[in-house]
Amino acid sequence: MKSCALPKEFKGYFWDCDFKALRSDEYREFILGRLLKLGGIKAIIWVYRHFSRKDIYGYLKERGRKDLDARSYLFWSKVLNYRELW
């Protein structure tokens, strides 16, 4: 995965941090969590273009239950055909 800055339109998802400092390679889990939980269709398209399915699946497996709310976790579990639910 190549490092890149987030689109300016995503700044609202990261209201509590230095948006300009966020890079997709350095803060992968943080960015994935926010966008999978709060992101709209443009954010999801961006996620799929900048992260591999393996990255997204790995995030869900390692941090999904802890970081995502139940609704988001269950949704992404279905989308990615991830078997381990609560």
Q: Where are the chain's structural domains?
A: 20-79
Number of other CB atoms surrounding residue 77 within 10 Å: 20
Q: Quick one: pLDDT at residue 80?
A: 86
Per-residue pLDDT 10s for the chain (86 aa) are: 556 789 999 999 999 999 999 988 889 999 999 999 999 999 999 999 999 989 999 999 899 989 999 999 999 988 888 776 55
Per-residue burial over 5-26, b if 16 or more Cβ lie within 10 Å, else e, is: ebeeebeebbeeeeeeebebee
| Whole-number Cα distances in Å, 74 to 44, 55, 60, 63 | 16, 17, 10, 13
Taking every pair of C-alpha atoms in the chain, what is the biggest distance, in angstroms? 36
The pLDDT value recorded for residue 59 is: 93
Tell me if 63 sits within 8 A of 82, measured CB to CB.
no
